[in-house]
Amino acid sequence: MIASPYLLYLGHVNDEVGIKTSRGLAVFRPDECVGEFRHDDCELTLGLPRMDFAEAVAAGARTLVLGIANAGGKLGDDLVRDALAALAAGLDVASGLHNRLRDEPVLVEAAARHGRELHDVRDPRSDIPVGNGKPRAGKRLLTVGTDCSVGKMYATLCLEKGMRARGLKADFRATGQTGILIAGSGVPLDAVIADFISGAIEQISPARDDDGWDLIEGQGSLFHPSFAGVSTGLLHGAQPDALLLCHDPVRPHMRGLPHYSLPGLKETLEANLQVARLTNPAVQAVGIALNTSKLSPDEAARLCAATADALGLPCTDPFAHGVDPIVDRIIACFEPSSRVATPSL
Amino acid sequence: MIASPYLLYLGHVNDEVGIKTSRGLAVFRPDECVGEFRHDDCELTLGLPRMDFAEAVAAGARTLVLGIANAGGKLGDDLVRDALAALAAGLDVASGLHNRLRDEPVLVEAAARHGRELHDVRDPRSDIPVGNGKPRAGKRLLTVGTDCSVGKMYATLCLEKGMRARGLKADFRATGQTGILIAGSGVPLDAVIADFISGAIEQISPARDDDGWDLIEGQGSLFHPSFAGVSTGLLHGAQPDALLLCHDPVRPHMRGLPHYSLPGLKETLEANLQVARLTNPAVQAVGIALNTSKLSPDEAARLCAATADALGLPCTDPFAHGVDPIVDRIIACFEPSSRVATPSL
């Protein structure tokens, strides 16, 4: 287990999406985050006290979390230098990047010398089976998206909170490094060997018979040419009863690919339903989740209303406005006779 | 490089599809295969002399190829025992299974003691990039299928031979262990980390400007719930100009999954074209390849003719009847003004 509290790393990153792991922890595990580490050229903040490594140790931090993301997940010289300084100061180091801390001999040596631990959150377990597609008991919802990093993890975590508040059993199933750090378990899906993508999802969301929901964190997009294979295997492994479509309305193009524009919401939903039907022909869409953080409250409200009208589905910003309309739809579709609480207002 | 000639391993396998790697080598590299090794309970044969390890060494064999396949690619006790005996007899050992020879300490120790080599063909190179989906020069054809193991590698290799015979430049690009053993290079796609599937294909089929074709070996099926993620990333990375749909007309259900029936040819073609259009909007289907080895010649001819009629595309068994109708279609669609040889009759 990774020792908390955490110091969250921002480094030199100046791209909001690039610090999503650090921000996710700050948002969903605020009590376990004592500060943020950033270089002078980093203009972002998580709203936590800025600390160097010695200050973080003095404030009680146990682990530096390298909570930054980049395509391919490389471990650059900058990161290695900072990780070495953190180890020397007395911190463990946790990373969600593709390239492993344990593959850097200088880090392994320094950790041993200082008596510290290295955690590679992106190491999948070794007993992942090949997926079998057999129908299994229980209800599952999967978040899907028009692109990478459009709020699938946020939407899934908000939905867990919202469904529990309405008296439903619901459990977040993490498929990415941030989600795993938040949930304490899960599978780092993009680090799994290609043949085992769907099997990994079958493994983390096995049959359940307690009338509860597995809420599975989506990854990538069927329309992202770099990562659609992951999204496809995830859809097949999840056997979702319900899909929640996530979208960032101000994203200018597919993440990292200026030559690819975003697909439409209707097109995205139809493609995801089509792929999902292979393992669950009864799959239904239950709503749209928009990340409206860059819009004014008025713009956000108008866009959610227009989107709901256009798609015939409830639409909300789960983080800003809650998930009640989506929970209502889930109850209407799947829990018609159950006794559940009315929405909180 | 793997030393030839080869002794081809059948072991205890009694499933034709399970020996496809050994058979592929016997068919496409006959001059490099001196014999086959099988236990008494194996009722299959490649038509090569049956030999034990000592006899194979005496006949000149240099490497035992563990050319069998099973879901997940596990290395069982049987295989380890046989590999140890082969090493002791003086053979190198090559394997295309997921689990690595080098991860079995007894094999590593025995190879060192006997001065022999272990080859894990399924080890991907370490510098595979994330796919970028950028349009690239050159023409590419990808084989796709209704299921796994329906003849995609055979069709691709036959097409290479057929296109070259017609004066076209065409190069087979291997994506599986058998193909890699035959071609001498390629990527073991199902062993690649999920985030790099499309990037791996961009890497093995880079831009080319010599008017030649890359013929990319397909894997899996969009309709196989275990492996569709691989097929999706392959479609996106290939940016195919042309798709050749492969099908086994006597396959009773999706490979390994008795609870899944095969999709229709039209449905399969449409789904593959739809996915392929993300990175190449101009993609076209150029034909259907049927594996008619289980049919009578009359049945095969009737089925090919009926399939061609139903789909409006040339249909042939590439291995049994050649690929001329498909090459004709490729020329008509892509090489209208080129001077190419007329079909051999």
pLDDT digits (tens, 9 = 90+) for A263-290: 999 999 999 999 999 999 999 999 999 9
Whether residue B50 is contained in a domain is answered as yes
Residue A184: per-residue pLDDT: 73
Reading across the β-sheet that carries B33-38, which strands appear in turn?
B33-38, B6-11, B63-66, B92-95, B118-120
Residue A206: per-residue pLDDT: 98
Chain center to CA of A66: 16
Residue A28: per-residue pLDDT: 86
Rounded percentage of chain B residues whose pLDDT exceeds 70:
96
What is the residue type of A337?
S
Closest in A198, A256, A260 to B229, CB measured: A198
For CA atoms B259, B217, B277, A71, give the dihedral sign: positive
CB contact under 8 A, A226 and B72: no
Rounded percentage of chain B residues whose pLDDT exceeds 90:
84
CB contact under 8 A, A225 and B278: yes
Whether B128 and chain A come into contact, CB under 8 Å, resolves to no
d(CA B149, CA B153): 8
| Cβ(A150)–Cβ(A252) below 8 Å | no
Q: Which domain holds residue B187?
A: 139-334
Residue B345: per-residue pLDDT: 47
Among chain A residues, CA nearest to B255: A132
pTM above 0.90, yes or no: no
Residue A336: per-residue pLDDT: 66
**B309 and B209 fall within a common domain:** yes
Residue B341 has pLDDT above 70, yes or no: no
Residue A190: per-residue pLDDT: 87
**B160 and B24 fall within a common domain:** no
Residue B190: per-residue pLDDT: 87
Among chain A residues, CA nearest to B71: A130
ipTM over 0.90: no
- Angle, helices A152-165 vs A20-28, to 10°: value is 10
CA-to-CA dists, residue B235 to B218, B240, B279, angstroms: 8, 7, 8
Question: What b/e sequence results for B53-75 when a residue is b if at least 16 CB atoms lie within 10 Å of its CB, and e otherwise?
Answer: bebbbeeebbbbbbbbbbbbbeb
Residue A50: per-residue pLDDT: 98
Chain center to CA of B175: 7
Residues of A in contact with B230 (CB under 8 A): 194-195, 197, 229, 233
Nearest to B218 by CA among B122, B301, B123, B153: B153
Residue B262: CB partners within 8 Å, gap ≥ 6? B146, B147, B223, B247, B251, B253, B254
Whether B275 and chain A come into contact, CB under 8 Å, resolves to yes
Task: Tell me the average pLDDT across B114-125.
Answer: 92
Residue B13: CB partners within 8 Å, gap ≥ 6? B19, B42, B44, B68
**A330 and A200 fall within a common domain:** yes
Whether residue A132 is contained in a domain is answered as no
DSSP conformation class of B30? G
Residue A321: per-residue pLDDT: 96
Whether residue B90 is contained in a domain is answered as yes
Residue B314: per-residue pLDDT: 98
Tens of pLDDT, residues B120-141: 988 898 899 999 999 999 999 9
Residue A43 belongs to domain with CATH number: 3.40.50.720
**B116 and B160 fall within a common domain:** no
Whether A96 and chain B come into contact, CB under 8 Å, resolves to no
B residues 210..229 contacting A (CB < 8 A):
222-223, 225-229
| B1 band by pLDDT with thresholds 50, 70 and 90 | confident
Mean of pLDDT over chain B = 94
Q: How many domains does chain A have?
A: 2
- Can you count the helices (H) and strands (E) in chain B? 12, 11
Residues of B in contact with A279 (CB under 8 A): 225
Which residues on neighbouring strands pair with residue B289, listed in sequence order? Answer: B246, B316
- Indicate the burial class of B209 (C-beta count within 10 angstroms; 0-12, 13-18, 19 or more): exposed
Residue A169 belongs to domain with CATH number: 3.40.50.300
The DSSP result for B167-197, as a single string, is: T--EEEE--SHHHHHHHS----GGGSBGGGH
Q: Which residues of chain A have pLDDT under 50?
A: 345
**A210 and A322 fall within a common domain:** yes
Task: Tell me the average pLDDT across B315-322.
Answer: 97
Whether residue A342 is contained in a domain is answered as no
Whether residue B128 is contained in a domain is answered as no
Which residues on neighbouring strands pair with residue A173, listed in sequence order? Answer: A216
d(CA B305, CA B299): 10
Q: For tokens 């209208």, what's the residue?
A: B336
Tens of pLDDT, residues B5-56: 999 999 999 998 889 889 999 998 899 999 999 999 999 999 999 999 999 9
Residue A345: per-residue pLDDT: 46
**B86 and B182 fall within a common domain:** no
d(CA B224, CA A199): 12
Residue B295 has pLDDT above 60, yes or no: yes
DSSP conformation class of B154? H
